[in-house]
A = this chain, B = another copy of it.
Amino acid sequence: MKKIIYLLACMQLAVVSFGQTPNHKETFKLVYDEVLTNGQCYQTLDYLCNQIGGRLSGSPQAEQAVQYMFNKMKSYGFDTVYLQPVMVPHWVRGAKEEAFIAKGRQKFDVRICALGGSVATPLMGIDAEVIEVKSIAELKELGKERIKGKIVFFNRPMNPTNIHTGSAYGGANDQRGSGPAEAARYGAVGAVVRSLTLANDDFPHTGMTKYNDSLPKIPACAISTKGADALSNMIKLKSEGQVRMFLKMNCQTLPDAPSYNVIGEIKGAGMPNEIIIAGGHLDSWDNGQGAHDDGAGCVQSMEALRLIKTLGLKPNRTLRAVLFMNEENGVRGGLEYARVAALDVNQKHIAAIESDAGGFTPRAFGVDDTNAVKIFKKWEPLYKPYSIDDIRQGWGGVDIGPLKKQGTILIGYVPDSQRYFDYHHTEVDTFDKVNKRELELGAAAISTLMWLLSEEGTLK
């Protein structure tokens, strides 16, 4: 209570010191000073990661996270905080995977992890010859004759010469997303996919794979980049005989489970029916803590609203923090949020911001609408002192994507991308990899952008 009184006093002081309506430059200073001196998001992320941990949709941890974040937003005194029900896929990894590579009389244990959505192997595992390909197109060239009965090993690396690592990811992730389904088309019995990372590391990076319902579902897993290089080298030495792999995976898809999007709102003073949201996804893969992907985006979105609330700023339009459930393996939260939003014809989501590229140092905003980019570019000078150099054409985010058909302008928060795929979908995506200030600067960037959109709208 003492703290609340203190905060209220600070709010008054902060706003009053600039008169009743600080200009944008003054508001930026207020927001950034507050986050860098009294920021809450780092501690919230600490709890989310170290006390709750990995939060795969349908898991008890995902439900703990829903409750924790709901209570946290309640404690911030937002005008409304509520849970939006949504049924989510419920895939579980089961007992730890086992795998080894065999060549002649030699046997090497190797670490794999099932891709999200994969079926299990038979109870006794599978054991088959490995055939390496660099692309889905190569499957067609090889044909059923060469592939049937084998484990297909997709081994095209991400391109290290892409400066933005997201582009390198985009250029390789078809292998994980549809490689296993396509391999099944040619009679493969399993699929092993090189981990999607530019790092030379020892642990598998998981992620979603999608089956084709008209084709057999074969077990699919990721192998670390070091493991992939070793496997590829063994295959190259053909003179020493055929390379086989043993895979044992215990995953299964359970019936859909009930879950929630978590939503907090500050009502707009003048135009409450125009809504601006900032969001991240609360679910994460099960193997790590989901710190950068995407605990960071969740705590930043909440913090963006808290900063405005704490400073006593009164937004003209309605601001929402939305913590989406189930980005990783279904996007059910994003779809449900957009569906419900479309039902209320009296309100309009004018803009949506997503933070789902890690809690790294801020670089830019990417805006998916060509006209809006031109309008928003006028704000670049406000951001220049705060480590954001660019408001540019770009991509919004997976969770906010379904809002597009309502005419919502989608905006991706763009942190520096170099380290993201070192941690992405692995056991090392943990709290200690997040720098407090980098996380906080991102929260302030999102908060100030919400404020600008609230005060100026998207049209002028």
- Within 8 Å CB of A419, what residues of B? 435, 437-438
Interface string of A435-447 (1 = CB under 8 A from B): 1111001000000
Q: How far is the CB of A266 from chain B (nearest CB, A)?
A: 24
The answer, yes or no, to whether A202 is at the interface (CB within 8 Å) is no
Q: Which residues of B lie under 8 Å from residue A387 when comparing CB positions? A: 163, 416
Q: Mark A144-187, 1 if CB is under 8 A from B, else 0.
A: 00000000000000001101010000000000000000000000
Asked if A36 and B441 sit within 8 Å, CB to CB, the answer is: no
Check: A422 CB closer than 8 A to any chain B CB: yes
Copies in the complex: 2
- Cβ of A385 within 8 Å of any chain B Cβ, yes or no, is yes
A161–B436 CA distance with the chains assembled, in angstroms: 13
Q: Indicate if A452 sits at the interface (CB-CB under 8 A).
A: no
Chain A positions within 8 Å of B, measured between CB atoms, are 32-33, 36-37, 160-161, 163, 165, 198-199, 361, 385-387, 389-390, 416, 418-419, 422, 435-438, 441
Structural contact, B361 and A418, CB atoms closer than 8 A: yes
Contact at A437–B198, with CB atoms within 8 Å?
yes
Contacts of A438 in B (CB 8 A): 418-419
Q: Are B390 and A389 in contact (CB under 8 A)?
A: yes
- Tell me, in angstroms, the Cα distance from A232 to B232 when the chains sit together: 59
A32 touches B161 (CB 8 A): yes
- Most B CB atoms within 10 A — which of A161, A418, A419? A418
A163 touches B441 (CB 8 A): yes
Min C-beta distance of A204 to chain B, whole Å: 19
Cα distance A165–B438 when bound, in Å? Answer: 12
The verdict on A160 contacting B36 (CB below 8 Å), with A419-B435, A435-B419 known, is yes
User: Distance in Å from the Cβ of A27 to the closest Cβ of chain B?
Assistant: 15
Q: Which residues of chain B have C-beta atoms less than 8 A from A33's C-beta?
A: 161
- Bound Cα distance from A160 to B435, whole angstroms: 14
Smallest distance from the beta carbon of A223 to chain B beta carbons, Å? Answer: 20
What separation, in Å, do the CA atoms of A277 and B435 have in the docked complex? 33
A436 touches B199 (CB 8 A): yes
List 21 A-B pairs, Cβ < 8 Å: A32-B161, A32-B163, A36-B160, A36-B161, A37-B160, A37-B161, A160-B437, A163-B385, A163-B386, A163-B387, A198-B437, A361-B361, A361-B416, A387-B416, A389-B389, A389-B390, A416-B416, A418-B435, A418-B438, A418-B441, A419-B437
Using Cβ atoms and an 8 Å threshold, which residues of chain B touch A165? 437
With A and B bound together, what is the CA distance between A5 and B438 in angstroms?
Answer: 44
Q: A361-B361, A416-B416, A419-B435 known; 15 other A-B pairs, CB under 8 Å?
A: A33-B161, A36-B161, A163-B385, A163-B386, A163-B387, A163-B441, A198-B437, A389-B390, A418-B435, A418-B437, A418-B438, A418-B441, A419-B437, A419-B438, A422-B435
Distance to closest chain B CB from A33 (angstroms): 5
Chain B residue at smallest Cβ distance from A198: B437
Instruction: Give min CB distance, A169 to chain B, whole Å.
Output: 13
Q: Which residues of B contact A36 (CB under 8 A)?
A: 160-161
**A199: nearest chain-B partner, CB-CB:** B436
Bound Cα distance from A436 to B197, whole angstroms = 13
Residues on B with beta carbons closer than 8 Å to the beta carbon of A161: 32-33, 36-37
Q: Give Cα A441–Cα B163 distance, bound, in whole angstroms.
A: 9
Name A360's closest neighbour in chain B (CB-CB).
B361
Please, how many angstroms separate the alpha-carbon atoms of A160 and B441 in the complex? 11
In the complex the two chains form, what is the Cα distance from A437 to B200 in whole Å? 12
CA distance A74 to B361 in the complex (A): 37
Q: What's the least CB distance linking A434 to chain B, in Å?
A: 11
State the CA gap A160–B419 with chains docked (Å): 24
For the complex, give the distance between the alpha carbons of A199 and B436 in Å: 8
B residues in contact with A390, CB < 8 Å:
389
Return the chain B residue nearest A438 by Cβ. B418
A361 to B361, CA, bound (A): 9
Q: Chain B's nearest CB lies how many Å from the CB of A310?
A: 15
Question: CA of A385 to CA of B199 in the docked complex: distance in angstroms?
Answer: 21
Docked Cα-Cα span, A273 to B419, in Å, equals: 41
A394 to chain B, nearest CB (A): 14
Residue of B nearest to A436 (CB): B199
Alpha-carbon separation in the docked complex, A163 to B165 (Å): 25
- What 4 pairs across the A-B complex have the smallest Cβ distances? A389-B389, A36-B160, A418-B437, A33-B161
- Bound CA–CA A455/B52 (angstroms): 57
